[in-house]
A = this chain, B = another copy of it.
Amino acid sequence: MVVKVFGPSYASCCRKVLVCLIEKEIEFEIIPIDIIKGEQKSPEFLKLQPFGVVPVIQDGDYTLYESRAIMRYYSEKYKSQGTDLLGKTLEEKGLVDQWLETEGQNFHPPIYILIMQLVFHPKLGLPIDDKIVKESEEKLEKVLDIYEERLSKSKYLAGEFFSLADLSHIPFTHYLVNDIGKAYMIRNKKHVSAWWDDITSRASWKKVLQL
């Protein structure tokens, strides 16, 4: 069964899911949703995803949304196919969950605001709030300091294996490094910088960037 992924392939939350599906060697088809035109708020789309955001997947008659939930589902369903993204033991999986939650609760909120303000506000003709940008950068810097400490002790966030916890950071950090002149936030940290080079050198991410 080919998995249908609803959303534009350039949206960060869709990209997480696509990297995951490629790592797990799962066939997929992208059903484009024009989020600039607001198609994600159409009555038809809201039946799939009541919050009006991408991505959503359909797999036969099974529908699922929230990128981290979709990634968990496929990583577990096809545990032994492609890259194992959850760790070998329940204790390793616990740490994957811990760092995936850390990404969702500590890393994502400030980086999301930074990217919205500095990448999308100009495209949408909205003003940039310098105070909010400054506060978000300071919050993100503190999170990255903790990542630096962690990554000085283990190669990846959850341990010595690449997992959903690392993968989940890639799409938004890609904007930070490449589109808003803030690569220094990664590059001024030795271990975070090496981790970033490692996780973005994966074939799955390169493929997603070409979609």
Q: Please report A residues at the B interface, Cβ cutoff 8 Å.
A: 50-51, 62, 64-66, 68-70, 72-73, 76-77, 90-91, 93-95, 97-98, 100-102, 104-106, 109, 146, 149-150
Contacts and interface: CB of A to CB of B under 8 A. Distances in A.
Contacts of A95: 64
Contacts of A62: 91, 94
A73 B93 contact: yes
Nearest to A106: B51
A55 to B, nearest CB: 12
B150 A94 contact: no
B51 A69 contact: no
Nearest to A146: B50
B66 A105 contact: yes
Nearest to A72: B97
B101 A69 contact: yes
Given A62-B91, A97-B69, A102 B51 contact: yes
A73 B100 CA distance: 13
> Most chain-B Cβ atoms within 10 A of its Cβ — which of A70, A76, A93, A98?
A98
B69 A149 contact: no
